[in-house]
Amino acid sequence: MTTFQDPVVPDKPPRVPLWNNPAVRAWVYQIVVMGLVIALAIYLVNNTLTNLSERSIRTGFDFLDREAGFRMGESIIPIEPSDSFGRALFAGFLNTLKVSLLSIVLCTVLGVLIGIARLSHNWLVQKIATFYVETLRNIPILLQLFFWYAVITGTFPNSQEAWKPLPGVFISKSGVLHAVPVADPAHVWIGLALLMGIVATVVYGRWVRRQQRDTGRRPPMLWPALGFLLGLPLLVFFAYGAPLAWDLPVMGRFRFTGGQEITPEFLALWLGLSFYTAAFVAEVVRGGIQAVDWGQSEAAGALGLRRGLVLRLVVLPQALRVIIPPTTNQYLNLTKNSSLAVAVGYPELTSVTDTTLNQTGQAVECITIMMAIYLAISLSISAGMNVYNRIVQIPDKR
């Protein structure tokens, strides 16, 4: 009979050499990589400092307080050539925000319309939308900016023969001039009335929804809402005796005076960015709507909802969750693409940085400031959109 021997159990685990221990290896790798990165950084900084002193280029950020000496084409805040570089860069930053925000609004409107048109049952509309998307997104944005700028400055009429599509609006080679209302103290009160109207509409809307839930009947919504939104401000407007004077652009001997000017540079940038990004937003919208299961629409239809209500109450809320993250990405891209304004000469952050860099020669500082600002804009947009995304996400979705 065979007896089994007790297996020999070693009293301690076998010694693993230090260089085979995964944890130790991981740290060695990381320290080596970190060391290489630091060495590279030191090497580059060292070279840079040597080069800067050899070429006797100044360092530090004190140039921000020095007089800029260049004229900016347009700005939201008042700015003179005698103002500092710092203020010029700030004005450029505001221009970046201005053109980005206005382009985001236009590209969203266009993108949603074109995205829906691409899903249209109407053959003609669908083909035109497809043509738009395939053309616009396959041509570099820089080329489109040059193109629009060339169209505006090359084919639009001189300011003497400007087009007048609406009273008080003049379109010419030198941009668009439009009338603006002359400021009046009453306007503040009208604005407040509008704000009150919006609040009242929201409150009333909640009450309507509660009524519908409790009684099954829906009180009228459209007319009271219009009353709040239009009636209140109009009431205040007439109570003040309708103070509305227009600052009209008037053709002088050589050029227009008065009114508000939209420069060709801004126009080219705004239209170019909006048209280009709209093609991408349209694809996102189309994808989002298609991602909603067809059964959802059928079920809603079977419950007796009309087509518009199906879209508004069933399809869009679900599509929105798919649409928002990639749309944020497009907004970020648009903001970064606004840096191409340097090519058409609209004075936003990049082109002001370019000018500052050429005047001061302090490339490192200028590019660092510019990158830091773009990074801050990018991070804040994505942070804001993440918060919004969390709100609209289905709570129990895994």
Residues that bind another protein (CB under 8 A): 26, 29-31, 33-34, 37, 44, 47-48, 50-52, 54, 120-125, 128, 134-135, 138-143, 146-147, 150-151, 154-155, 336-337, 339-340, 342-343, 350, 353-354, 357, 363-364, 367, 370-371, 374-375, 378-379
C-alpha to C-alpha distance for 370 and 352, rounded to whole angstroms: 10
> Which residue's CB is nearer to another protein, number 150 or number 182?
150
CB of 295 to another protein, least distance (A): 15
**Judged by CB, which is closer to another protein: 142, or 169?**
142
User: What amino acid is encoded at 143 in this protein?
Assistant: L
Other residues' Cβ atoms within 10 Å of the Cβ of residue 118:
21
Rounded to the nearest 10°, the torsion over CA 102, 108, 113, 119 is: 160
Contact between 334 and 100 (Cβ < 8 Å): yes
Pairing status of strand 246-247 against strand 169-172: unpaired
* Least Cβ distance, residue 147 to another protein (angstroms): 5
Residue 187 CB, nearest distance to another protein (Å)? 37
**CA–CA distance, 159 with 170 (Å, rounded to integer):** 8
For the CB of residue 347, give the shortest distance to another protein in the complex, in Å.
Answer: 15
Q: Closest CB to another protein among 83 and 365?
A: 365
Identify the CA nearest to 61 among candidates 41, 83, 86, 43: 86
Q: How far apart are CA 96 and CA 380, in angstroms?
A: 15
The first and second tokens of residue 31, run together, are 């320290």
Provide the CB-side half-sphere exposure for 367 (13 A, CA).
5
The least distance separating another protein from the CB of residue 32, rounded to whole angstroms, comes to 10
Q: Could you tell me the smallest distance in angstroms from the CB atom of residue 304 to another protein?
A: 19
**Phi, psi of 375, deg, nearest 5:** -60, -45
Task: Tell me how far, at minimum, the Cβ of 269 lies from another protein, in Å.
Answer: 14
CA atoms of 264 and 170, how far apart (whole Å): 13
Q: Which two tokens mark 90?
A: 């700030």
Using alpha carbons, select from 288, 340, 314, 338 the residue that is nearest to residue 119: 288
The span from the CA of 95 to the CA of 274, in Å, is 16
Contact 246, 180 (CB under 8 A): yes
C-beta of 239: minimal distance to another protein in Å?
41
Nearest CB to another protein, comparing residues 93 and 256:
93
Distance CA 38, CA 28 (A): 15
Identify which of residues 196 and 322 has a Cβ nearer to another protein in the complex.
322
The residues, any chain, with a CB within 8 Å of residue 362's CB and separated by 6 or more, are 57, 58, 59, 63
Contact 168, 248 (CB under 8 A): yes
Q: How far is the CB of 125 from another protein (least distance, A)?
A: 6
Shortest distance, position 104 Cβ to another protein, whole Å: 16
Got the DSSP string for 258-278?
Answer: SSEEE-HHHHHHHHHHHHHHH
Angle between the 85-118 and 349-360 helix axes, to the nearest 10 degrees? 150
As measured in angstroms, the least distance from the Cβ of 5 to another protein is 29
